[in-house]
Structure 1
């Protein structure tokens, strides 16, 4: 079953979700690419950053979600609906941000994309590395009670594995960062993961069942991520990055 997306909910944490993309882009040292592709563009707000970085390049984008593509097109992005598994690499810079964790076998996909790039082309990717964090472990425990499967630690590889996958490139830069994000509002961790990790649960359950699911999960998350004296909550979020030049 495909996952549906809510662009507005995803953008509720725009600043926090954008920072890893900007950190990834800072390590792509392409000077004058002709064609830049945003593979899995989401609502397109970060695709615009690619156009600002390389104003003379043709910037195109795609996403598997019709809702996300529609949102990107409203921003004037040249976006089409397509899955990353069906896409045939083009362009001399390919950026994929927080997408490949949804794709089983994406390590082989990365190797194919790298081989398809022209000499001097760049491939940059970022995925979340927090599948063993309390937020995700608790969500899996509750989802199991509702007969919904959620992704586990095997969803993404460790940084060294991605470095091995891209070792044939002329340069490889792989790293990880744990951002300590300050979240605010009622049940902020639940709200954060509702826009991403919990989308398969929302798709699988009825409205009433999903309310029961969140009612069960919310107090567990509040205990795992207690509020500070000012009412905010610290939320550690690990990310894994890789940049390679063919």
Structure 2
């Protein structure tokens, strides 16, 4: 179960990436705007303010997230993006920090691009720091013999899921979109004891938390936390500093 309140506390990095992505979408008068993996809807609501004439909607697989999005005034629906397809009037399609949860996403993107109309825009962003300290530490603990059968299959393994940037570029170009692909690194500074662990619980560690009961979750945290503290030590001022790299993919199909 995704915790919408904790996710919103994690929203600084989410907001930065969303703003960077949506700023490159130059749609003038879109009819329909869809946010796949809309989460609690606070960022989707910003799309309604930007394009007040458009029908803006969100899709998310979490009932808690959909409920929170509706509180933000978003027309949110419960659904799996694997089973979704755009309608003929979808002029802007965004998938913000959700696509990396779907291993087969290149095939999905290809299908969406086929269905989008002339003049439409597609945009996605995703974590792209496979092999960094955080992901390596999660995999290290999850692959230990006493955890492997319980949680190894629900660990986010970016190195196995995300494709090289040029593959996304080629995919958009092959579908008649003018592509723009870039990466950015965002440095963050968190405050308090185990601040990074608490931050990770909001999103990257949620599938593991959902798999484990309270006792096993505390046992996992007890093994993971010391590794995290060693790799990302707390500074004398009480802060923990780390960075995340994001991949952005934007495409526009000419009229």
Superposition TM-score tier, normalisation by shorter sequence: over 0.9
| CA-to-aligned-CA distance 1:147-175 (integer Å, 9 cap, x gap) | 21113211211211111111133411001
1:7–1:43 Cα contact (<8 Å) kept? yes
1:177 maps to what in 2? 184
Matched ranges for 1:126-205 at <5 A? 126-145=125-144, 146-147=147-148, 148-149=151-152, 150-152=155-157, 153-168=159-174, 169-205=176-212
| CA-to-aligned-CA distance 1:171-211 (integer Å, 9 cap, x gap) | 11001111111111221221121111211211221211110
Picking from 56, 67, 71, the partner of 1:70 is 67
Q: Are 1:239 and 2:236 matched, yes or no?
A: no
What is the CA–CA distance in structure 1 between the aligned matches of 2:204 and 2:215, rounded to whole Å? 19
Q: Are 1:25 and 2:31 matched, yes or no?
A: no
Q: What is the CA distance between 1:139 and its match in structure 2?
A: 1.1
The number of equivalent residue pairs is 243
What is the SS of the residue equivalent to 2:244?
A: strand
1:38 maps to what in 2? 35
Greater per-residue helix proportion: 2
Picking from 4, 13, 16, the partner of 2:13 is 16
Root mean square deviation, CA, Å: 1.2
Q: What is the CA distance between 1:131 and its match in structure 2?
A: 2.8
1:51 maps to what in 2? 48
Structure 1 unpaired stretches of 5+: none
The alignment's TM-score, normalised by the length of structure 2, stands at 0.92
Runs of 4+ in 1 over 6 A off after TM superposition: none
What is the SS of the residue equivalent to 1:115?
A: helix
What is the SS of the residue equivalent to 1:239?
A: strand
Structure 2 unpaired stretches of 5+: none
Q: What is the CA distance between 1:58 and its match in structure 2?
A: 1.0
The alignment's TM-score, normalised by the length of structure 1, stands at 0.95
2:34–2:56 Cα contact (<8 Å) kept? yes
